[in-house]
Amino acid sequence: MKEGIHPAYKEVTVTCACGETFKTQSTRQNIKVDICSKCHPFFTGKQKIVDAEGRVEKFKKKYAKSALAGQGK
């Protein structure tokens, strides 16, 4: 391998939105994630709607109007 072309790996802390933290190695200073293995629905067994961009609320708002219109018939 050539010398001087590889990035320096250092120990960093990964922080999840749920508050969980763990250490890993990376070229970045800090890593922030939305979901980790402590709060991901696959690992916890609990259903949780993960909505980072408001898509779920937009869907509910859009189809709530059509559901109300369909009940009046």
Q: How confident is the model at residue 54 (pLDDT cuts 50, 70, 90)?
A: confident
pLDDT digits (tens, 9 = 90+) for 12-39: 999 988 888 999 999 998 899 888 878 8
- Domains (range + CATH), the chain: 10-71 (4.10.80.400)
**Of 59 and 52, more confident:** 59
Q: pLDDT value at position 71?
A: 65
Q: Which of 21, 30, 25, 34 is nearest to 7 (CA)?
A: 25
Q: For residue 47, count other CB atoms closer than 10 A to its CB.
A: 6
Q: Which of 13, 39, 38, 36 is nearest to 24 (CA)?
A: 13
Tokens of 41: 């629905």
- DSSP character at residue 61: H
Average pLDDT score over the chain: 79
pTM: 0.51
Q: pLDDT value at position 2?
A: 83
| Residues linked to residue 10 through DSSP beta bridges, in sequence order | 26
